Structures are given as structure tokens and as C-alpha cells.
Amino acid sequence: MFAKYIVRFDDACSTMDNSKWQKIEDLCDKFDIKPIIAVVPNNKDSKLIKDKIDNNFWDKVRKWQNKGWHIALHGYDHVYISKESGLVPFNHKSEFAGLSLAEQILKIQKGIRIFKKEGIDTNIWVAPSHTFDENTLKALKEHTNIQIVSDGVALFPFKKYGFNWIPQQLWHYRTMPFGIWTCCVHPNEMDDNEYLALENFVSKNHKSFVDVISLKYQSFGLINTLFSKIYWIIRKIK
């Protein structure tokens, strides 16, 4: 099986860098790519204030949704209030991991309430900084219609904790021999060289990009287990 690619763009919010996001939108439209867009419902993270508040932000999100792009719930306010890493130990800062179930339910309900008010349907969870725990998943299961987690280290999509997981392993694209690879891109932070690298990869490999609605999910399995173990060993060495 040849490698397939998914692109996820993080940190869409009302104060995002509109010029950079427009370039991303134009690129996806040109090659008919349906990305995952991680939207912060109520941003309070000063690092994500890249522009003045866009009063048309939710119009843009609805337009993305109408084009078949996949809108994901990206936390609630993107403010880190714990130093826990949770289930996917990339980072030690979190909006969710380590908080009580009641606290997490409240944050998730607030985020979903904003999405519903703005006419946004979501089936995907993207945790800020990859940090979330079993309480997060319980809150999502009991209080949302979300069934997909965009995170985790594996070669292929898998089922775990009652959710479908789309692994996210890359932050810069490179050619892979096989597997399904999600690249997490932060448009607000991209410089010209990073955008050109993305544009070059997409233009050469756009036929290998897949829509997440076509994915199939299985048990974690031996291949995913071996890949995950090797990945984390190499990461610790580095």
C-alpha cells in the first residue's frame, strides 16, 4: 500500500492571521483537498492573537464546512492550565489533561454550544498541544456527537477508548513508503519558506491526499503497536 496523506490546520480562531489562512484555503481549493480544520471556539490565548477580531470569522468556518472541510473542536479557549501530558505525551501543558471530569465537561459543553449557535457540526476532536486524558474522552462521549480523535501515534487509523483515531505523526511533510500520515500545520506561524514547502509537496502529491470520510478503522493491531513503540523510543533518544 502506498502512503496516503491528510492535512490538519490548527488554531483557526477569530484573531487568526487572515492573509496566511487565505493562502491555505486557496491551496486546498486548487487541489481539491478536504482538510481537518481545528477551530478554537472562544480563544483566550494571547499567542493566537495575530490580527484584529474578524467579525466574519464564523462565516468563513461555515463556508469551509459547506465545501466539505472537516471542522474539529479544538478545545474551548486554548489556555493551558495544567502541566499534564495525558494520553499522548508530546507536551507537558494542557487545557484539559489533569482537570476533573466536571471541569472538562463544562469546557467542552461551552465549546459545543458556540459551535451549535454558529451552525457548525463537528465529529472530530483536536486537543490543544495533543494533551487530553480519559476524562476528556468520557466528557466527549457523554456530551457530544464526536466520534473521531485526530491524534495518536500509529501507521493506520484505529479504534480505542470507544473512539475512531486518525493518527497524527508529522509537522512537516516528507515522502513516506506506506501508511496514512496526518501532518499538523499551524498557518498562523508559517513563514514563506514553510508555505512554499507545503505548496511544493501538495502539488506533487495531491493525488495521494485522502478525505477522512473514506478512512477505515480497525483494532490497534501489531503493526501500529510496533510502530508506536519504535516512534517513542526514537523520540526519547532525540
Q: What is the pTM of this model?
A: 0.96
pLDDT of residue 235: 82
pLDDT of residue 237: 73
Whether the Cβ atoms of residue 113 and residue 39 lie closer than 8 Å to each other = no
What's the CATH superfamily of 4-237? Glycoside hydrolase/deacetylase (3.20.20.370)
Look at residues 10, 6, 7, 33 and name the one whose alpha carbon lies nearest to residue 21: 10
Grid cell digits, residue 70: 472537516
Grid cell digits, residue 55: 467579525
**pLDDT tens, N- to C-terminus, the chain (238 residues):** 589 999 999 999 999 999 999 999 999 999 999 999 999 999 999 999 999 999 999 999 999 999 999 999 999 999 999 999 999 989 999 999 999 999 999 999 999 999 999 999 999 999 999 999 999 999 999 999 999 999 999 999 999 999 999 999 999 999 999 999 999 999 999 999 999 999 999 999 999 999 999 999 999 999 999 999 999 988 877 6
Q: Give the start-end residues of each E strand in the chain.
A: 4-12, 36-39, 70-73, 124-125, 148-150, 158-160, 163-166, 180-185
pLDDT of residue 169: 96
pLDDT of residue 151: 98
Pairing of strands 124-125, 70-73: parallel
